[in-house]
């Protein structure tokens, strides 16, 4: 049986669906995951809960709709980063800076992808991996391979590199309470994000540089 359109939907503008998704995104960011109900989403959006159910058919489909829209925002810039138009070290800094900027817009996205992966079937799992996770991994693999070819990077397992770098970026936003309450700073501050990129690049490059280049840098000091 088709879902009956609630009376309130008859007066809804096309922005109604978007308002609901934005409310859910706000809750995802605040809760660090999808620990909220459709009723909470409806209240945040100023909509009837029946309208939320009408648009999405349930909580899971609403979350998938968010992932579907947001993955394009996260992965579209990665297409340009596949081309080796810069030295590997410069490409890596651009990649890291880009990920921090994108993450600041959708800090909940990878946690949401992990939740949906744990609950999804095989076809949905493959789609999430191929559309959201694999593009980032391929960019990083390309940068690592270029750095080795240039003789400036040592051999690094792409999986370990992905976990290290993405874990650092994730913590910048996941640990916002610690950043604010312990360090008295804000993860939403553009200067903090820029400082994070520079400091993380320093840490990453100290581990990435080939032994010969490390020795050369030490002699140059």
Give the Cα separation of 140 and 161 in Å (integer).
8
Give the Cα separation of 110 and 88 in Å (integer).
25
- Asked if residues 152 and 103 have their Cβ atoms less than 8 Å apart, the reply is no
Give me the DSSP letters along 82-131.
Answer: TS--S-HHHHHHHHHHHHHHHHHH-TTHHHHHHHHHHHS-HHHHHHHIII
Write the pLDDT tens digit of every residue in 177-217.
898 899 998 877 889 989 999 999 999 998 899 886 654 55
Give the pTM.
0.78
Write the pLDDT tens digit of every residue in 45-99.
999 899 988 898 888 889 989 988 888 787 778 877 877 789 999 999 999 998 8
Give the Cα separation of 124 and 122 in Å (integer).
6
* CATH numbers and ranges of domains, the chain: 1-57 (1.10.10.60), 63-214 (1.10.357.10)
Which residues, 6+ apart, have CB-to-CB distance to 200 below 8 Å?
Answer: 96, 165, 168, 169
């Amino acid at each position: 049986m088709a879902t009956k359109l609630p009376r309130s939907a008859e007066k809804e503008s096309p922005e109604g669906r978007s308002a609901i998704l934005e409310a859910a995104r706000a809750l995802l960011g605040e809760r660090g995951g999808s620990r909220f109900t459709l009723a909470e989403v409806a209240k945040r959006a100023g909509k009837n809960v029946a309208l939320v159910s009408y648009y999405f058919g349930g909580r899971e489909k609403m979350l998938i709709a968010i992932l579907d829209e947001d993955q394009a925002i996260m992965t579209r810039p990665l297409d340009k980063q596949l081309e080796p138009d810069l030295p590997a070290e410069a490409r890596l800094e651009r990649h890291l800076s880009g990920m921090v900027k994108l993450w600041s817009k959708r800090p909940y996205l990878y946690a949401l992808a992990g939740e949906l992966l744990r609950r999804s079937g095989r076809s949905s799992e493959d789609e999430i991996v191929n559309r959201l996770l694999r593009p980032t991994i391929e960019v990083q693999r390309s940068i690592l391979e270029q750095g080795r070819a240039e003789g400036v990077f040592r051999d690094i397992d792409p999986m370990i590199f992905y976990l290290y770098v993405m874990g650092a970026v994730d913590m910048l936003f996941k640990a916002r309470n610690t950043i604010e309450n312990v360090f008295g700073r804000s993860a939403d501050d553009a200067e903090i994000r820029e400082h994070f990129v520079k400091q993380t690049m320093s840490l990453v490059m100290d581990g990435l540089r080939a032994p010969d280049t490390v020795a050369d840098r030490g002699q140059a000091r």
